[in-house]
Chain A
Amino acid sequence: MGFSETRQGGVVVVRAEGQLIVGNRHELKELVARRLADGERRFVIDFSGTGYIDSSGLGALVTMARQAREQGGELRIAGLNDDLRALFELTKLDTLFAISDTAEQALASF
């Protein structure tokens, strides 16, 4: 469980290595807040290594996306499995985020 980050073409790609839940959501929020403070504005969160996300994790994504928008940036989502995509649709968060099948597609969409 954890997060790894790479910078590709002006976009910070954060890969979740495992679940995004109440126990680790602050770690991801702090990582994105640090990069925003560094001047980064474009983010992709890659969930291709994630089995499930809980409501705290969804809430953390909402907060991070708002923080990025407030500074003229954007946070996009990639790599959701079918169950996770259904979770975003159920909570209508698919209307709040640009969602791509892969991190590469998300990068190309900026």
Chain B
Amino acid sequence: MASLRICVRRAPLEAPDGPGTAVSVRLPSDVDCIEEAVALLTYHCTAGMRASSRLRFRLQVVLAEALANAMLRGNREQPGKWVDVRAVLLPELVRLHIADEGPGFDPAAVPEPVSPARLQEPNGRGLFLMRHLADSVDFNAQGNSVCITLRRS
């Protein structure tokens, strides 16, 4: 795994969005960073707050999918292109904003991966997992930024 020095910024979040905490991280487009980034972000999203093992699992998978999507399909692993993550931590929910510098894509054009015809395909399950493990997944119009909400209960 690449040796990664991730700079995490934590800041208090005031009304109208808070009270809560905002955590932000900027990552290079390197998939070897993902496991460490997921561990770090999951820690910050759950530290000192109500968090079941189920929420940790959902956070880990959703973050891994969103980061891989941003690095591989968004930034196409180009050096110099970044992935920005901002997590808004509130008592009842975690909201993740993940943006890449790629051209974007149309999430509506991604087929369902669980049909019998697609079950043996190696690709195409990432967005499906995000949508089923998160409470909401919303892309911007360009398709290069996603807002993911997970309720804590």
Q: How far is the CB of A64 from chain B (nearest CB, A)?
A: 10
* Interface residues of chain B: helix, strand, loop or mixed (majority): helix
A16 at the interface (CB under 8 A from B): no
Bound form: Cα–Cα A95–B115 in Å: 12
Interface segment among B12-20, B91-99, B117-125: the answer is B117-125
Contacts of B60 in A (CB 8 A): 19, 51-52
Contacts of B53 on A, CB cut-off 8 Å?
83
Partner of A52, one of B1, B31, B57, B120: B57
Q: Tell me whether B57 and A21 are in contact (CB under 8 A).
A: no
- Residues of A near B100 (CB, < 8 A) are none
A4 to B34, CA, bound (A): 22
> Taking each of B1, B113, B125, B128, which has the highest tally of chain A beta carbons within 10 Å of its own beta carbon?
B125
A92 touches B123 (CB 8 A): no
Within 8 Å by CB of B64, from A52, A90, A92, lies A52
Q: How many residue pairs bridge A and B at CB < 8 Å?
A: 74
Is B1's CB under 8 angstroms from A23's CB?
A: yes
* In the complex, B106 has a CB within 8 A of chain A: no
Binding site for B on A (CB under 8 A): 1, 18-19, 21-24, 51-56, 58-60, 62-63, 66, 83, 87, 90-93, 95-96
Pick 28 A–B contacts, CB within 8 A, sort by A.
Answer: A1-B1, A19-B35, A22-B31, A22-B64, A23-B31, A23-B32, A23-B34, A24-B35, A51-B60, A52-B60, A52-B61, A54-B61, A55-B65, A55-B123, A55-B128, A55-B129, A59-B122, A59-B125, A62-B121, A66-B120, A83-B53, A83-B54, A87-B129, A90-B132, A91-B125, A91-B129, A93-B119, A96-B120
